[in-house]
Amino acid sequence: MKSGDSATAITRASKSNLALAFVAMSGERRRDITTFYAFCRVIDDIVDDINSDDETKRDRLGSWRRSLREKFSGEPSLATSVRALMDRYAITPEMLEEIITGVEMDIETRRYATFEELRVYCYRVASAVGLVSIEIFGYANPRCREYAVALGLALQMTNIIRDVAVDLTIGRIYLPGEDLARFEYGESDLASHVYDSRFTRLMNFEATRAQQFFAEAARVLPPEDRRAMLPAEIMASVYKALLERIVRDNFRVFEKQYRLGRLEKFRRVTVPFFKLLDGRSGQPPFASRTL
């Protein structure tokens, strides 16, 4: 299988919301964002592999780091395609290493005392992904980098809120310790799935933080780059809808996994297209305002 075919297969198999963004792209840029997404998926899967010990995981991530700078026998199968991205765009090895360092944090770091500590993690696994992505999308205004950082933080905070129960099963708590203390909700409460007013107030606090990052991303997005950032805006639309659903449902993350259905995703995917076309609210006439 060619590396390009492999990247496409990885993307399709992931069934991730991120792949939705590709509907707004075509040609070489679509191929290249698919390659980049496959890279992100592969290194993330390395860390989540329950059949590998920590040393093996670090060795495999180390091979990826090396492959960003040189070709060698036995390198990861996608390495040649990933190096080609650095030849075509303003993407440096350091930018990709930042993402590797982020996923590597999951090997040892299972708790975050403060939001500032968590923010570093979110920047590496999400904002850094956005900073590479916008180079592939193409942009004119450097403020797009601010947009990528803010949107990445918003998306990752939404993931953290959605996956509280799932992360617990693998011993990870991303909710900052200082936030748990603020609402007098302990790790033992979280482990026992205690669902009370302390928990809902804690989760509303985190949701507000995510919403502020979404608002910041919308504020700094340069008008002249709205077309180029359409794939990112699709992701923003989908994840905002997901967050809205969780908030409306009062954060019942212990008893259900939140996903958007196909029709809901379609509605949210169309919103950025309409915004681009008419410059107004972006709400298509056939879409419900509450999903």
The DSSP code sequence of 47-113 is HH-TTS-HHHHHHHHHHHHHHTT---TT--TTHHHHHHHHHHSS--HHHHHHHHHHHHHHHH----S
Q: Where are the domains of the chain?
A: 1-107, 109-291
Cβ-proximal residues to 2 (8 Å cutoff; 6+ apart), any chain: none
Residue 259 confidence (pLDDT): 87
**In the predicted model, is pLDDT for residue 225 greater than 70?**
yes
Q: Quick one: pLDDT at residue 289?
A: 28
261 burial class (0-12, 13-18, 19+ CB within 10 angstroms)? Answer: exposed
> What helix, strand, coil percent values describe the chain, rounded to 5?
70, 0, 30
**Under 8 Å CB-to-CB from 181, ≥6 apart: which residues?**
none
pLDDT at position 188 over 80: yes
Percentage of the chain beyond pLDDT 70 is: 83
pLDDT tier, 143 (very low <50, low <70, confident <90, very high otherwise): very high
Q: Would you state the pLDDT for residue 262?
A: 73
**pLDDT at residue 20, as a whole number:** 64
> Looking at the domain that runs over 109-291, which CATH code has it been given?
1.10.600.10
Inform me whether the pLDDT recorded for 130 exceeds 70.
Answer: yes
Question: How confident is residue 10, by pLDDT bands cut at 50, 70 and 90?
Answer: low
Task: Indicate the average pLDDT of the chain.
Answer: 88
114 DSSP 8-state letter:
S
Query: In this predicted model, what pLDDT tens digit does every residue of 51-105 receive, in sequence order?
Result: 999 999 999 999 999 999 999 999 999 999 999 999 999 999 999 999 999 999 9
pLDDT band at residue 264 using 50, 70 and 90 as cut-offs? confident
Query: For 152-172, what is the mean pLDDT?
Result: 97
For residue 282, what is the enclosing H or E element?
A: none
The predicted pLDDT at position 27 comes to 86
Place of tokens 């302390």: 198
